[in-house]
Amino acid sequence: MAVNKEPVLKRCRSLGLEPSVLGVSKKESKRQLKRANRKMSEYGKQLREKQKAKFIYGVLEKPFRNYYEKAAQMKGMTGTNLMVMLESRLDNVVFRLGWARTRKEARQIVDHKFVAVNGKLVNIPSYQLKAGDKIEIREKYKGYNRMKLVLEATNGRIVPEWLTCDNEKLEASVNAMPTREQIDTPVDEMAIVELYSK
């Protein structure tokens, strides 16, 4: 399986992203972030928005293109559909619930069979959740020291409105699919649509 191993802070600098978007607490200086905002062509801006979305959600080019093609076939706006599909990935939801410090850690937690969806083990990070799905950390992992440390570290994280979470039982549910207003990812999805529709 291909993995992007580029240093996180270096990538954040090149894309003009705050590391906190990824759940990384290290601060970037203003001077470093300004460098990423130099004058750019329209194509360059569109490409950067695509790279930002791929980097934030940890998706490589081929699966990202597949998401775009599925989003284009669905009803509604393609860009919004794309963002909703990325946001409703299982690894992203585990991150949003505060059960992982970063999306990479959330991916690892799912990979290592910690998570069950609707009572069944799911170890596929890209698994698409739907409204009404119940997510939980499996019983044998609930007492793990790792989970306690993670919950302490993510204690202040606000769970999005479209999710309900019980951190004591380590159970959650998807109330509804997120709207674009509920997704706080700093990405201009219309630029991605324009890039792919050329």
* Same domain, residue pair 79 and 132: no
- Report the pLDDT value the prediction gives residue 162, as an integer from 0 to 100: 95
Which backbone phi and psi does 188 adopt, to 5 degrees? -95, 95
Residue 2 lies inside a defined structural domain of this protein: no
Average pLDDT score over residue span 73-81: 95
What residue numbers bound the domain in which 75 lies? 8-86+186-196
- The C-alpha atoms of residue 176 and residue 164 are separated, in whole angstroms, by 10
CA 150 remoteness from chain centre = 17
- The C-alpha atoms of residue 44 and residue 117 are separated, in whole angstroms, by 39
In this predicted model, what pLDDT tens digit does every residue of 78-134 receive, in sequence order?
999 999 999 999 999 999 999 999 999 999 999 999 999 999 999 999 999 999 999
In this predicted model, what pLDDT tens digit does every residue of 8-24 receive, in sequence order?
777 777 777 777 776 67
Residue 57 lies inside a defined structural domain of this protein: yes
Residue 144 lies inside a defined structural domain of this protein: yes
Residue 40 lies inside a defined structural domain of this protein: yes
* Same domain, residue pair 98 and 168: yes
* Same domain, residue pair 27 and 75: yes
- Report the pLDDT value the prediction gives residue 13, as an integer from 0 to 100: 79
* Same domain, residue pair 75 and 109: no
In this predicted model, what pLDDT tens digit does every residue of 141-193 receive, in sequence order?
998 998 999 999 988 788 999 999 999 999 999 999 999 999 999 999 999 99
* Same domain, residue pair 160 and 100: yes
Residue 165 maps to which CATH number? 3.10.290.10
Nearest alpha-carbon partner for 179 in 76, 84, 70, 77: 84
In terms of DSSP H, where are the helices of 58-121?
A: 61-73, 78-87, 90-96, 103-111
Residue 1 lies inside a defined structural domain of this protein: no
Taking 60 as the threshold, does the pLDDT of residue 1 lie above it?
no
Average pLDDT score over residue span 64-69: 96
User: Do the strands 163-166 and 171-174 form a parallel or antiparallel pair, or are they unpaired?
Assistant: antiparallel
172 contacts 161 by C-beta, under 8 angstroms: no
Residue 3 lies inside a defined structural domain of this protein: no
- Report the pLDDT value the prediction gives residue 6, as an integer from 0 to 100: 67
* Same domain, residue pair 71 and 125: no
Angle at 83 between CA 101 and CA 87, to 5 degrees: 30
Nearest alpha-carbon partner for 197 in 82, 25, 58: 82
* Same domain, residue pair 43 and 101: no
Number of domains observed in the structure of the chain: 2
- Report the pLDDT value the prediction gives residue 139, as an integer from 0 to 100: 93
Place 37 in a pLDDT band, splitting at 50, 70 and 90: low
pTM of the model: 0.84
* Same domain, residue pair 22 and 56: yes
Residue 77 maps to which CATH number? 1.10.1050.10
* Same domain, residue pair 19 and 44: yes
* Same domain, residue pair 93 and 67: no
Q: DSSP letter string over the chain?
A: -----S-HHHHHHHHT--GGGGT--PPPPHHHHHHTTS---HHHHHHHHHHHHHHHHT--HHHHHHHHHHHHHSSS-HHHHHHHHHHTBHHHHHHHTTSSSSHHHHHHHHHTT-EEETTEE---TTPBP-TT-EEEE-GGGTT-HHHHHHHHHTTTPPPPTTEEEETTTTEEEE-SPPPGGG------HHHHHHHHT-
* Same domain, residue pair 95 and 170: yes
Residue 121 lies inside a defined structural domain of this protein: yes
* Same domain, residue pair 77 and 116: no
Residue 105 lies inside a defined structural domain of this protein: yes
